[in-house]
Amino acid sequence: MVIHGCIMSQIVHAKIQKWGNGLALRVAGMMRDIPRFKQDTLVDVEVFDDGFTVRRAKSQSEGFSFPLREADLLEGLTAENAHADELAVIQSGEMGN
């Protein structure tokens, strides 16, 4: 077991095998359980000259949510405190005519 700061890592020796016309690395045991990978888990693969790293994808489909809802951001907003009277007016030369 190796500890990097607060991140625990485990070295697993595995064998890359033929799978159809490609190669595959079976994700089982610790390689599946520690990062809590399940079937259809989206991952990002970072490729190097001497190997690759697989990490859970940080995407919206994996449950990303903004810290505030739109309704929370707009709560209490009025024309006065939104400074609607100070909106920029586009001049004709700014449009790239």
Residues 28/37, Cβ–Cβ less than 8 Å = no
In this prediction the pTM is 0.50
Residue pLDDT, tens place only, 13-65: 999 999 999 999 999 999 999 889 999 998 999 999 999 999 988 864 555 66
User: In terms of CATH architecture, what is 16-62?
Assistant: Ribbon (2.10)
The structure tokens listed for 45 are: 């693969």
What DSSP string runs through 27-75?
Answer: --THHHHTTT--TT--EEEEEETTEEEEEE--SGGGT---SS-HHHHHT
Residues 25/14, Cβ–Cβ less than 8 Å = yes
Residue pLDDT, tens place only, 77-94: 888 888 877 878 888 788
